Structure 1
Amino acid sequence: MHIFKQLALSLTVGLIAISTPAMAEDKVITILTQQDVFNDYQKFIGQRDPLSLTQYGGPASRRDVVELVLVQQALKAGGNELPIKIVKVDNTSDSYNRYIKEITSGSATMGGNSAWLIDLKPLADKVLISEPVIRNGEFEAGLYTTSDNAEARLSRTLPEIQKLTAVVAESWKPDVATLESLKFSILLKTHSWDSMVGMLFKKRADVLLAPFQPTPDMSMDVGGKKLVPIQNVKVGLQGSRHFFVSKVDPMGAQVSKQLNAGLEKLREKGLIDKAYRDAGFFNSATKSWNRLN
């Protein structure tokens, strides 16, 4: 059985509007993203052209969403003139791993969101790995909890935080390793982001790791439910994150070359850093916060 219930073509962007029907049918770069990212991307981009975007903040902006913009801009800057289509996969119990597997099978040309190098290295025979978009040491996250969890929100020191119950998706290797190193009294492992959030609101867990958000209080809205970071503490995740292209796709080598050339140009212009700052991922408000590891 195919690993997904559905791989749905959901949105066309970029140069598709000016391509010929033959080009659109025969040569199209398909960029895969996950269901929740796709939904927020639609809210974020609206009627704007992702290729000309220079302001990456605003409603629904977050790391995954701006990465979907950056990857399109990088391809364009690297010389791509083929049409682009964004495709999504419906929610699954383990969307991150299945998202990666879908690229390795060649069902899409490339991923629209970065993945950890530790997850991509074993797949080097199946994917072409880009230069890092998030370099080693740059990834910092908050410990997020529900707004009514007073015990968690009042925790400040590592011993206080270690008494809390943390939850993580078991396939998120750097997150698991980081939380295990912090020695929580209880660390629960589940299969997906949605499950993690659900466990917080069901009071089965207190905290989860999540990137800082661009909202004034750095809170995030998850399906109408609010999560907030524990104030004045942050966590560093080791490793770098990269885009990746399927070797199975006939255009893979060309796309990978254009992607890396474009990422270099975006890096030189400061647009990669700006996108992550605008999205709240590189967050100046947390610069002086106590890093727990």
Structure 2
Amino acid sequence: MRSLAMLLCLCAAPAVLAQTVIREPITEGERGKLDAFINGREILKISDFGSMQLDSVGPVEHFIFRKAVLLGGLDARFENFLVPNSARARELVASGAVCCSGAAQWHLYFQKDAERMFESDEVIGQGGYEKGLYTTKENLARLKLARAEDLRALRAVSSNTWVIDWGTLERLPFRALYSAPTRPQQFSMVKFGRADVTLQDFTANPGMSAEEQGVTLYPVPGVKIALLGTRHFFISRTHPDGPKIYEALQKGLRVMRQSGELRRILVDSGFINRHVRDWTLLNPQTGG
């Protein structure tokens, strides 16, 4: 009789919803910085964003994605899924092999695969993405830039798979433009003199420095470059968890935007950098 009563109680108990496991495509460099920034803390309780670990847009966007999903009401656990670059992440999302992009992507990529993906609201709006020309501390003394014409003596390095960055640099009069697939490789080329500058995100670190694998670079003061386009998170339409993750993400992004937290993360991390507000834009026709 007791066994029957216990069985009836179990049947009557409300079902416990399983936690959603989100395998999030991320590069090795982004993973190291994101994990070091979170450092075991509860994501929803993190409110300080002036960290040396958030010195590029990748870790910043991954954190925004995770917090937005949780704020949107989804009980989720995030697992890092290593990929070599953002192009591979997009392929996995479009195929349904993973549910989301993790880091935001340029809208132009969504246009090519709209039937297979959802696109979130803007994370970074039009005209909101500015970068600096980063070089070694030793080079800062000799690199005096004030206008686009001054770039004619310089060699720049980026990745030709970063379509927006690469296209922006191609329209500027650099002496040479080299491609290296990863940020650490780009930093290394500048360090060893194979390139003079690399196009990188501004940071909140001392001197707005950025670091990769022991190489520290600094922005050439007084000048900046604008990237044209908007950035969004991509969610798979065919992955079983895609629709509910997309719904939670959109809710969370709205909460973060309305509370001002979305902008505060971008500002406090140095991505939107107050110190470069009056710097000369070398490509004003692109920046608008």
Q: One fold, TM greater than 0.5?
A: yes
Aligned to 1:88, the other structure's residue is in SS state: strand
Larger radius of gyration: 2
List gaps (5 residues or longer) in structure 1: 1-19
Alignment of 1:179-218 (within 5 A): 179-218=169-208
Alignment of 1:160-171 (within 5 A): 160-171=150-161
Q: Is 1:69 equivalent to 2:63 in the alignment?
A: yes
Instruction: Specify the alignment match of 1:53 in structure 2.
Output: 46
Provide runs of 4+ in structure 1 moved above 6 Å. none
Q: Is 1:248 equivalent to 2:238 in the alignment?
A: yes
Q: What TM-score does the superposition give when structure 2 sets the normalisation length? A: 0.87
Q: Is 1:33 equivalent to 2:26 in the alignment?
A: yes
List gaps (5 residues or longer) in structure 2: 1-14, 284-288
The AA in structure 2 aligned to 1:59 is: M
Confirm or deny: 8 A CA contact 2:152 2:175 kept in the other structure: yes
Aligned to 2:121, the other structure's residue is in SS state: strand
1:135 to 125, 128, 144: 125
Shift of 1:178: 1.0
Q: Is 1:176 equivalent to 2:166 in the alignment?
A: yes
Shift of 1:219: 0.7
Instruction: Specify the alignment match of 2:8 in structure 1.
Output: none
Instruction: Give me the whole-angstrom Cα distance separating, in 2, the residues matched to 1:195 and 1:224.
Output: 12
Instruction: Give me the whole-angstrom Cα distance separating, in 2, the residues matched to 1:198 and 1:119.
Output: 29
Instruction: Give me the whole-angstrom Cα distance separating, in 2, the residues matched to 1:160 and 1:238.
Output: 22
Q: Size of the alignment, in residue pairs? A: 268
Alignment of 1:121-132 (within 5 A): 121-132=111-122
Shift of 1:151: 6.7
Instruction: Specify the alignment match of 1:101 in structure 2.
Output: 91
Identity of aligned residues (%): 28
Q: Is 1:265 equivalent to 2:260 in the alignment?
A: no
Q: What TM-score does the superposition give when structure 1 sets the normalisation length? A: 0.85
Shift of 1:85: 1.8
Confirm or deny: 8 A CA contact 1:153 1:231 kept in the other structure: no
Q: Is 1:118 equivalent to 2:108 in the alignment?
A: yes
* 1:85-117 CA-partner distances (Å, limit 9, x unpaired): 221315x3xx12112212223232212211111
Instruction: Specify the alignment match of 2:74 in structure 1.
Output: 80
132 and 53 in structure 1: CA distance in 2 versus 1, 3 angstrom threshold? same
Shift of 1:152: 5.6
Q: Is 1:235 equivalent to 2:229 in the alignment?
A: no
Instruction: Give me the whole-angstrom Cα distance separating, in 2, the residues matched to 1:252 and 1:186.
Output: 43
Instruction: Specify the alignment match of 1:225 in structure 2.
Output: 215
